[in-house]
Amino acid sequence: MAGMRLYDNGWAPSPRRVRLYLAEKGHGLSEAIERVPVDLQHGGNLAAAYLAVNPRGLVPALVLADGRVIDDSIAICRYVEALHPDPPLFGSDPFAIAMVETWLRRIEAEGYAAAVYALRNGHPAFAGRALPGVLAGEGAAPPQLPALVERAGVLWAGFVASLDAHLAEREWIADRHYSMADIAALVAVDFAHRARLAVPESCGHLRRWHAAATARPSSGA
Amino acid sequence: MAGMRLYDNGWAPSPRRVRLYLAEKGHGLSEAIERVPVDLQHGGNLAAAYLAVNPRGLVPALVLADGRVIDDSIAICRYVEALHPDPPLFGSDPFAIAMVETWLRRIEAEGYAAAVYALRNGHPAFAGRALPGVLAGEGAAPPQLPALVERAGVLWAGFVASLDAHLAEREWIADRHYSMADIAALVAVDFAHRARLAVPESCGHLRRWHAAATARPSSGA
């Protein structure tokens, strides 16, 4: 992984997926890839220097030694997975591969989407940034939609209930061991917490899982 | 693939991804998997018989010979891909693997999401079904949000512009040959058309790609 640069941000959820993945994967990857911080809070992602790396103005972005760029968090992880298949974090057999993908898509469309809806449409700091990256700056900024905060609550309630039920019979979400689905869910749950979407006391299985995921050394990466 | 059943619907976009994938994959898979139609227009997806298969009330769902269920379109395709790696439709090398994933996620979050936003929040037939499957039926049905139709237009315009620019230098979206990213984009573009989100005349590269994708025998599967 020599010569690779990862454009990163300690606050944002998407680069956190990549950091946790690299920490779980091992092989010294976390140390082998250079990190370049991007200051989202002060618009560093929309500055010309960063738009030259990623015209979408989003983090993370991985720049390969030959200059090619991968600008999606899960795609970065799948790239590293193709180079370093072991330990398998995207599923250790065909059914587990399907379960990882099922949950990655569900976490993204329901859990993570709920958190993004709530935060970008409900938090004053996101006024004018209801859509991320350059989408927020093209023409008139899209307005915050308070009704989406309410819808976020519906999505979130359905998401945590279904994940809690799923975890009643399983230690981890999609495979016999910790996988990318667990990483994405941990990032979504922690991000949702900042958007005031909590895991209710009634979701005991999900809370047990969250404690176990948080206890792994990777969670602080 | 003997003994597998695919719960399908000819109108809905998600099962179409699976049918196109199976047709492109070959190996006689399209014929080897039994198809079971689900009548979404008349609530067949929320009937007890189908909820016993997929409690989420969504199509597609693939039931394996041992009774296990995969209820996400891309996850079904990744399962088949793990069993039948050739020809590779999720990327033929590590960078192509990353590009397929990048575009699958972008198509889902921007192109397909725009179409879903517009249709479920703007079309009278979706009153009371602004969220899909069982989410629409739990408690009070979430209201249609006209502001999301407007936001869908912003998302869609950004999506088609970026995909058009991307295709200026490429025959297909993510790999040297046709891939799952092309399948997902074709399904999204055709579905968006029904939500009155069109590919503008100015997007010549995207229109050329769309004609080529539509001309493939798989597109009618």
Q: What ipTM score was computed for the predicted complex, to two decimals?
A: 0.95
Mean pLDDT of all residues in B141-168: 90
Identify the pLDDT of residue B22: 98
Q: How confident is the model at residue B140 (pLDDT cuts 50, 70, 90)?
A: low
Report the alpha-carbon distance of residue A25 to residue A177 in Å, rounded: 13
Record: contact A142-B151, CB cut-off 8 A: yes
Mean pLDDT of all residues in B180-186: 98
Identify the pLDDT of residue A138: 54
The residue among B120, B129, B135 with the most chain A CBs within 10 A of its CB, best to mutate, is B135
| Three-state secondary-structure class, residue B117 | helix
Identify the pLDDT of residue B214: 98
Identify the pLDDT of residue A135: 63
Q: Which of B97, B134, B143 sits opposite A78 (nearest CB)?
A: B97
Name the closest residue on chain A to residue B82, using Cα atoms.
A94
Record: contact A155-B135, CB cut-off 8 A: yes
Identify the pLDDT of residue A121: 86
Identify the pLDDT of residue B151: 86
Most confident of A37-41, B16-20, B192-196: B16-20
In the numeric block, which tokens belong to residue B220? 């009618």
Identify the pLDDT of residue B8: 98
pLDDT in tens, B27-36: 999 999 999 9
Identify the pLDDT of residue A145: 83
Identify the pLDDT of residue A122: 84
Report the alpha-carbon distance of residue A174 to residue B175 in Å, rounded: 28
Instruction: Indicate the range of B43-47, B127-131, B134-138, B191-195 predicted with least confidence.
Output: B134-138
Ramachandran quadrant class, B136 (left: phi over 0; alpha: psi -120 to 50; beta: rest): alpha
Chain B contacts to A (CB-CB under 8 A)? 56, 64, 68, 70-72, 74-76, 78-79, 82-83, 91, 93-95, 97-99, 101-102, 105-106, 108-109, 130-131, 134-135, 138, 142-143, 145, 147-148, 151, 154-155, 158, 162
Identify the pLDDT of residue B55: 92
Record: contact A71-B102, CB cut-off 8 A: yes
Identify the pLDDT of residue B208: 98
Angle between helices A73-83 and A180-194 (to 10 degrees): 160
Number of helices and strands in chain B (H, E): 9, 4
Identify the pLDDT of residue B11: 92
Contacts of B108 in chain A (CB under 8 A): 105, 108-109
Identify the pLDDT of residue B29: 94
Cis bond upstream, residue B15 (ω within 30) = no
The tens place of each residue's pLDDT in chain A, 221 residues long, gives: 779 999 999 999 999 999 999 999 999 999 999 999 999 989 999 999 999 999 999 999 999 999 999 999 999 999 999 999 999 999 999 999 999 999 999 999 999 999 998 988 888 888 877 777 766 555 566 788 888 888 899 899 999 999 999 999 999 999 999 999 999 999 999 999 999 999 999 999 999 999 999 999 999 99
DSSP notation for A95-144: HHHHHHHHHHHHIIIIIIHHHHHHHHHH-GGGTT-SS-GGGGGSSSPPPP
pLDDT in tens, B36-86: 999 998 999 999 999 999 999 999 999 999 999 999 999 999 999 999 999
DSSP notation for B127-157: TT-SS-GGGGTSSSPPPP-HHHHHHHHHHHH
Give the percent of chain B with pLDDT over 90: 81
State residue B191 phi and psi, 5-degree precision.
-70, -40
Domains and CATH numbers, chain B: 5-83 (3.40.30.10), 94-220 (1.20.1050.10)
